[in-house]
Amino acid sequence: MTDINIRIEGRAGRITLNRPDALNALTYDMVLAIETALDAWRAADLDLVLLDAAGTRAFCSGGDITEMYASGKRGDLEYGRQFWRDEYRLNAKIFEYPKPVISFLQGFTMGGGVGVGCHGSHRIVGESSQIAMPECGIGLVPDVGGSLMLALAPGRLGEYLGTTGFRMGPADAILAGFADHFLPQDMWQDAKAHLIETGDPSTLNFATSPEGKLPALRPHIDRHFAGETLGDIARSLEAEESEFTHATLKTLSRNAPLAMACTVQIIRRLRSANSIRQALDQEFRYTYRAIKQGDFIEGIRAAIIDKDRQPKWAHDSIKALPALTITQMLMPLGTDGLNWEDMT
């Protein structure tokens, strides 16, 4: 498959995303190919899995959602649901993989890219790294297991990152738990060669990343995002006149209110989680219903198809969302829920 290069080199199973002109956006076939390789290498005579991507602009900018839009417009709800079922199973397999999984995350790593690149054992960022969960901007919740990292982030960073889609540089990604190590990118080629030859990531020498933006914002974030609901957060922000509150409210006003409200609830539910499967189960409750609910299709239209950046969300207020609507989006799916029986 030209979109992805899967091979064995030395002590490493290698997976290289190869759609640089599309910012290495993840297609359905790429998801299945990665899973097939991981399954084959589980018992193979290999020491680790090495994940990287072609080009300099992105490790992976997210899932290729244009087909989801087309199928949703046709009234076909099953394509997107099956994509998410298979993608979430892959996310869990990476998280639970018995061998080290080392990813090199240059440029943009967003959405579906987080699901592939940020669940392994060694997540390496460099100077250009920009990691984000921007799903609320297209009417979705942070998914692919990203909600678990948001729930485990320090303080109220999870609620902030999940609702605003803030782009984390290398230091911020490490602080929030989306990455582990900083390594200058001019050293990546030698590091990969070392991993291929030795199969031993413990001997890599990492560096200190440049200073991030989140530490200075933490007092504001922890104060304003401590409320139980999205409405609480909005009211807290509106009660204070500052550069931070003004900028944050402006960002929130662009995103889908229902998606943000459900994001806050999912993160709160997962603070006591002990498995990525719990996060994926919660996320799937929303994504399963998202195409039919409508905000997701409208979000893709505004951001990708027509590119007018003027989505017409089903709800126009972030403070007056009916609690029942949020509850209904996150109710258990019964027999339609994710099935983990085929995983160890």
245 CB-contact burial (10 Å; exposed 0-12 / middle 13-18 / buried 19+):
middle
Residue 310: per-residue pLDDT:
93
Is 142 within a domain? no
If asked whether residues 235 and 184 sit together in one domain, one would say no
If asked whether residues 231 and 293 sit together in one domain, one would say yes
Q: Which residues contact 59 (CB under 8 A, 6 or more apart)?
A: 17, 24, 52, 53, 103, 104, 105, 106, 107, 108, 109, 113, 117
pLDDT tens digits, one per residue of 106-144: 999 999 999 999 999 999 999 999 999 999 999 999 999
Give the count of domains, the chain: 2
**181 pairs with which residues across the strands?**
124
If asked whether residues 185 and 53 sit together in one domain, one would say yes
φ/ψ of 339, rounded to 5, equals: -115, 115
Confidence band, pLDDT 50/70/90 cuts, at residue 67: confident
pLDDT tens digits, one per residue of 227-240: 999 999 999 999 99
If asked whether residues 259 and 180 sit together in one domain, one would say no
Q: Is the pLDDT of residue 320 over 80?
A: no
Q: Which residues contact 173 (CB under 8 A, 6 or more apart)?
A: 105, 125, 129, 131, 179
If asked whether residues 255 and 180 sit together in one domain, one would say no
pLDDT tens digits, one per residue of 143-166: 999 999 999 999 999 999 999 999
Is 150 within a domain? no
Residue 181's SS3 state is strand
If asked whether residues 31 and 118 sit together in one domain, one would say yes
pLDDT tens digits, one per residue of 38-50: 999 999 999 999 9
Kindly tell me the sign of the dihedral angle through the C-alpha atoms of 139, 324, 145, 252.
positive
If asked whether residues 180 and 246 sit together in one domain, one would say no
If asked whether residues 124 and 242 sit together in one domain, one would say no
**Residues 174, 283: Cα–Cα separation, whole Å:** 23
Is 137 within a domain? no
Contact predicate 25/18, CB 8 Å = no
Task: Give the position of tokens 């914002």.
Answer: 217
If asked whether residues 125 and 183 sit together in one domain, one would say yes
User: Which residues span the domain enclosing 71?
Assistant: 4-132+170-203
Instruction: Identify the CATH number of the domain in which residue 40 sits.
Output: 3.90.226.10
pLDDT tens digits, one per residue of 184-203: 999 999 999 999 999 999 98
Contact predicate 298/139, CB 8 Å = yes
If asked whether residues 127 and 234 sit together in one domain, one would say no
Which of 180, 203, 226 marks a domain boundary? 203
Q: Which residue has the higher pLDDT, 160 or 316?
A: 160
CB burial of 198-215 (b: ≥16 within 10 Å; e: otherwise) equals: bbebeebeeeebeebebe
**Identity of the residue numbered 128:** S
Q: How far is CA 266 from CA 96, 142, 149, 234, in A?
A: 21, 9, 12, 17
> Which helix or strand (DSSP H or E) is residue 39 part of?
helix 28-41
If asked whether residues 47 and 177 sit together in one domain, one would say yes
If asked whether residues 249 and 187 sit together in one domain, one would say no
- The DSSP-derived string for 146-169 is HHHHHHHSSTTHHHHHHHH-PPB-
